[in-house]
Amino acid sequence: YMGTQFMIHTNPARFAMNLTVIDCHAAGEPARVVVDGFPPVPGDSMLEKRNYIMEHLDHIRKLLLTEPRGYPCQNANIIFPSKVAAWGVVIMEHNKVYPAMSGHNMICVATALLQTGRVEMKYPETNFTLEAPVGLINIRAKCHNGKATQITLTNAPSFVEHLDVQVNVPQIGNVRADIAFGGMWYAVVKADSIGLDISAANGKQICRLGEMIKTATREQYPVSHPLIDYKGCDIMVFRAPSTDSSKSHARNAVVMSNGVLDWNNEQTWTGMIDRSPCGTGTCAVMATMYARGEIGLDEDFVHESIVGTTFIGRLIREEVVAGRRAVIPEISGQAWITQFCQVVLDETDPFQMGFTVSDIWSA
């Protein structure tokens, strides 16, 4: 035991970057929340800041998410003052994906801000707003004894762009998919339609097939959000029924990219699985269900992840987005802080932007 203060016996000037980070996980999926040390970013909105960071500061995303500081399933969130909300958030993921919105990331951000006093915690419930690139996200947090015990977020409008399209995927054949926006652009596929079992033991197969289907869907059915500059598909979700022993309504596996798929290089035909039930994925799934009449407003939808954790989704009202029928979803879940740290970059470090190796990353 070294006491309550940790002395760093080095010259701070050696660090080209020094980021104050709160690491969390929501339902098993990690997220880093950067609360200090990020360079100034121009832009009045989080969408403008997102666009600037993508073009000029993407090396910081690589530093935070790739080795030796990160790993394939890591995410990062940069916290900024906001003119229209308690705080603003720019979300970073692998493969230069900067989501318009992410449910598990926002649950982690809200938890970190509440439990470190950056948002005043009120009992039994704290209400505030965060600004994401997609717009304002209302937060309702149940709080007890200094802990955020449940975060409920009201997402931006979710809507379906295509139902039941046929996607031709090399080595798989024709795959039936829906394309929906839930904060990111999702290809939504029933796992049993391609003979796939959603289980942790099938992780490698899920990643391989999911990344192939997602890439083929993006190539054959490109989509763009009608109100903001956001193109897809940039993510996909396999759907599956719940098990007999489960209290959920359905299971899922969301496949995300950690590299660029090259059809001429099978080693790149892989990705990674969201450990959580995925907030925006749940919103996209509910949007497709609503379009088919499989779920109504104000009904709980318990969605289970590949590791058995759950989020609760609910559609609270209809809206119209550029002529499209849309729904406003809520997502409820919980996050836990896992560590407080300073992520630093020594000026002599040979890995100024991190690195990847194809044993655990897409080549």
Radius of gyration of the chain (CA): 20
Catalytic residue numbers read 102, 278
Q: Which two tokens stand for residue 322?
A: 């550029």
Task: Report the chain's terminal Cα–Cα distance, integer Å.
Answer: 42
The residues with which 150 forms a beta bridge, in sequence order, are 142
Residue with tokens 């939808």: 301
Residues 6+ apart with CB under 8 A from 251: 198, 239, 240, 241, 242, 243, 303, 304, 305, 306
Q: Which two tokens stand for residue 311?
A: 């989020």
The rounded Cα 177 to chain-centroid distance in angstroms is 21
H or E element in which residue 320 lies: strand 310-321
Quick check: 110 and 147 in contact, CB under 8 A?
A: no
Amino acid at position 246, single letter: S
Quick check: 121 and 143 in contact, CB under 8 A?
A: yes
Amino acid at position 79, single letter: I
95 φ, ψ to 5°?
Answer: 65, 30
Taking the C-alpha atoms of residue 306 and residue 75, their distance in angstroms, rounded to an integer, is 18
Quick check: 230 and 100 in contact, CB under 8 A?
A: yes
Quick check: 128 and 164 in contact, CB under 8 A?
A: no
**What sections of the chain are H helices per DSSP?**
46-56, 58-65, 103-115, 203-220, 279-291
Taking the C-alpha atoms of residue 33 and residue 24, their distance in angstroms, rounded to an integer, is 8
Rounded to whole angstroms, what are the CA distances from 142 to 16, 50, 121? 39, 29, 10
- Please report the sign of the dihedral spanned by the C-alpha atoms of residue 279, residue 282, residue 284, residue 286: negative
